Amino acid sequence: MKQLFIIILAIPTLAFAGGMDRLKAFYQNTTSMRANFNQTVVDSQGRKVQEVTGTMQLQRPGKFRWDYNKPYVQQIVGDGEKVWLYDPDLNQVTVRPLSKTLGSSPASLLAGSKDMEKSFTIKDEGRQDDLDWVQATPKDADSGFERVYLGFKEDALQQMELHDSFGHITVIEFTKLERNQKPNAQAFRFTVPAGADVVGE
């Protein structure tokens, strides 16, 4: 692994870098990220079953925040120790330790450190739609997703695809990407709203 990093660093003018290299560069060079996202879920017959939009922020290690804005509001906040999921309409907060979600949730996956190979088997997937793709297969069979694809343009993550065991595909596209801007530390703190029910998973 170390040798691979040295080789990559030694050849900065490499004309074509595959998805694996993009992924490593992403984990090395992106300490924080903000973006808008559009998430679409299609079922095994190709029918669109969900479309949601929102904003995401992350700061390594382990801090992230996904705000779903449309068609309904939902927040997923990783404060470095715990992951909080809040649905205002349901008035319910579900909380889990971060360590239990690192290998499974895509939000946690992105906010993790570069040793994601502990939780995922990584494979180069070549180039498609102008993006360099890697496939990440969770080693934990209970993670909810069978395979995750990450699509990079240069070092920037542009798209994710999550495939579950029922043939559903979740596509997350990122736009208005900003990298390594100083994030607002408040963003990664979650305060339980008064009156909300809090449950562990």
Partner 1 sequence: MPVTSRQPLLATFVGVLFILTGCAGIKPQNTTPLPASTPEIHAQHLATIATISAFDLQTRIGVQANGRGFSGATNWKHSATHDNIAIFSPLGAQVATIDKTPNGVTLIADGKTYYADDTETLTQKILGWSLPMQGLPDWIIGRPSPSKIEQSAWDEAGRLTKLRQDGWDIEYSQYVSTSGYQLPQKIALRSQNLNLKIIVERWLLSESHP
Residues found near partner 1 in the complex (CB under 8 A): 39-42, 45-50, 71-72, 74, 76, 85, 87, 89-92, 94, 105-107, 125-126, 128, 133, 141-142, 144-145, 149, 151, 161-162, 164-166, 168-171, 197, 199-201
Enter the tokens of residue 61: 């290690």
Contact 44, 167 (CB under 8 A): yes
CB of 50 to partner 1, least distance (A): 6
Nearer to partner 1 by C-beta: 51 or 81?
Answer: 51
Nearer to partner 1 by C-beta: 12 or 46?
Answer: 46
Nearer to partner 1 by C-beta: 78 or 151?
Answer: 151
Dihedral sign computed on CA atoms, order 49, 53, 54, 57: positive
CB of 172 to partner 1, least distance (A): 9
Nearer to partner 1 by C-beta: 7 or 192?
Answer: 192
CB of 57 to partner 1, least distance (A): 16
CB of 198 to partner 1, least distance (A): 9
CB of 11 to partner 1, least distance (A): 27
Nearer to partner 1 by C-beta: 43 or 154?
Answer: 43
Helix axes 19-29, 2-10, angle to 10 degrees: 90
CB of 60 to partner 1, least distance (A): 20
Nearer to partner 1 by C-beta: 100 or 168?
Answer: 168
Which residues on adjacent β-strands are paired with residue 38? 53, 173
